[in-house]
Structure 1
Amino acid sequence: METFIHAYSWIDIHFLLRGLWVTIYVSLISIVLSFILGLFLGLIRYMKIKYVSAIVGFIVDIIRNLPLLLIIFFTYFGLPQMGIVTNPTTASIIALVIFEGAMLCEIVRSGIIAVPDGQMEGARSNGMTFGQAMYHVVVPQGLHNMIPALLSQFVSLVKDTSLATIIVLPELLYHAQIIYSQNTTYLIPMYVIIAVMYFIVCFCLSQIANYLSKRYD
């Protein structure tokens, strides 16, 4: 018990909170950008544009079957070889957006496909163009269908930020490692506290999703 008390000193907690902020910062930016990318790619796949949809589907399938850690390594070590210099934060965001965008692409496509064909036909019969029908009728209903899957993917994204500790992203797990590397007796207390912090963030995210789901039901 005494070990836990010493491990949770204000200095250590403050240091962990700084890492938590980086985790939240990277997660929020990645969630927004990956959702935009996934929505765009999902619409392309749904509309079955000649050649384009097939190429997008091929690339998405490749990315979805690659380990996220490999993509993180590529963005951090590979991009500089191509003249694109990145820091750990930028590389982590790029990797997460690419990987999660590919995952969300299939969620978006499935959500839109789940919308009954009669919705599109009804919108078109009322004088809407294809684009208007997609924007005002089909996509909003599809997004409602996607909420549970989107939530699950966003929660996974938050937890996946911990993989970026391998490229020295100063996120929560990396800060915890620094603390218990200085005193190995703090290892278990650090794992306990970061587990609590991850739970709080992911639980809040799930509550927001539940609220949105009920509001637009």
Structure 2
Amino acid sequence: MQELIQAYSWINLRFLLMGLWVTIEVSVISIGLSFVIGSLLGIIRYMKLGWFSKIVGFIVDVIRNLPLLLIIFFTYFGLPKIGIHMGVMMSTTVAMTIFESAMIAEIVRSGILAVPKGQLEGALSNGLTMPETLWHILLPQAYKKMIPPLVSQFVSLIKDTSLATIIMLPEVTFRAQTIYAQKPQAIIPMFIMLALLYFVLNFTVSQLGSYFDRRMEA
């Protein structure tokens, strides 16, 4: 009991919460950027703009089939070799954004393809341009279908921030490791606390996704 009290002391909890804030910060920035970039890439792939769409499709497929850890290594250790220097926080955010943009691009492309083809043909036959059809007809319907896979991808992104411990990003997992490295008896309490924090964070995101899903269906 004494060990449990020591593990969950205010100093340790405050230390963990500071790491949780880093996790949230990286996640929010990466989710926002990857959603915008991934949507653009998915639209480009859908529109089949000749060689441009093929190049984008090839890049997306390559990134989707690489481990995220490898991309994190590349942004932190590889880019400085060609003169691009970034801190731990920026490297993690860039790596997460690159990887998640590729994943979201495929979700967006599949979502648009799931809209009945008659919607596209009807809009074009009524004089709408392709960009107008995408913005007013296809995307609103596609995003309704995309909410569940997008939420799942965002939850995966939040959990994957823990991979950045390898480059010593001071997020919540790294800080938990720091605590139990100094006090080995705290390892189980730290695992329990990590599970609780990740659950609360990801459950909140899932509930927000369900809320928006219900609102769009109403």
Q: TM-score, normalised by structure 2?
A: 0.98
Residue equivalent to 2:215: 215
Give the aligned partner of residue 140 of structure 1: 140
In structure 1, C-alpha distance between the alignment counterparts of 2:123 and 2:65, rounded to whole Å? 37
Deviations 1:131-152 (A, max 9, x none): 1110011011111111110011
Partner AA of 2:122 in structure 1: G
Shift of 1:58: 0.9
Which residue of the partner structure matches residue 123 of structure 1? 123
**How far off is 1:169 after superposition?**
0.4
Kindly provide the amino acid, as one letter, of the partner of residue 188 in structure 2: I
State the superposition RMSD in angstroms: 0.8
Residue in 2 that maps onto 1:9: 9
Separation of aligned partners in 2, 1:179 and 1:49: 52
Aligned to 1:26: 26
1:158 corresponds to: 158
- Structure 1 residues without counterparts, runs of 5 or longer: none
Sequence identity (%): 58
Q: How many Å separate the matches in 2 of 1:197 and 1:178?
A: 17
The corresponding residue for 1:47 is 47
| Deviation of the 1:100 alpha carbon | 0.7
Question: What is the deviation of 1:198?
Answer: 0.3
Q: Secondary structure at the match of 1:51?
A: helix
Which stretches in structure 2 are left out of the alignment for 5+ residues?
Answer: none
Which range moves more in the overlay, 179-188 or 113-122?
Answer: 113-122
Aligned to 1:57: 57
Letter in 2 for 1:70: L
What residue identity is the alignment partner of 1:149? P
Aligned-partner Cα distance in 1 for 2:124–2:49: 19
What's the offset of the Cα at 1:125? 3.1
TM-score by length of 1: 0.98
1:126 to partner: Cα distance:
3.1
Counterparts of 1:69-108 in structure 2, within 5 Å, are 69-108=69-108
Please list the CA deviations of residues 26-66 of structure 1 after superposition, one character each: whole Å capped at 9, or x if unmatched: 00000000111110110010001100111111111111111
